[in-house]
Amino acid sequence: MLRSVLASLLGLAAAMPAGAQTRLPLSRMLCADAIELVKREGDVVLPIGRGTPQRFVRDRSFCAFGEVAELRFVPARDNPECPVGYGCREPGFEEWDWR
């Protein structure tokens, strides 16, 4: 019985998304390390200083249908404008190409 409970718990832990893990704030990471983390994981939630954590993605394939990927620049330990990855957002009305 104990083995089956432990096996279930381990299975649940392995199924948790990587973004749910606690990470260092970007202000304490080197820019190159933050960029590599987003490239490797693909979809990461990172704390920005004392603010709300933000989601960064490797490319548009991690965005929902109808969203666009916009390059995000955030302060890292060694670079005040680190191009860490992309943020997904819905385009504004003026951005649609109606041709």
Residue 83 included in any domain: yes
pTM of the model: 0.69
pLDDT(16) > 80? no
pLDDT, residue 71, reads 97
Q: How many domains does the chain have?
A: 1
Residue 10 included in any domain: no
Residue 85 included in any domain: yes
At 27-76, the pLDDT tens digits run 889 999 999 999 999 999 998 877 789 999 999 999 999 999 999 999 99
Domain that holds residue 47: 19-95
Residue 45 included in any domain: yes
Q: What is the DSSP string of 49-91?
A: TTS--EEEESSGGGSPTT-EEEEEEE--SS-TTEEEEEEEEPP
Residue 24 included in any domain: yes
At 70-81, the pLDDT tens digits run 999 999 999 999
pLDDT, residue 89, reads 93
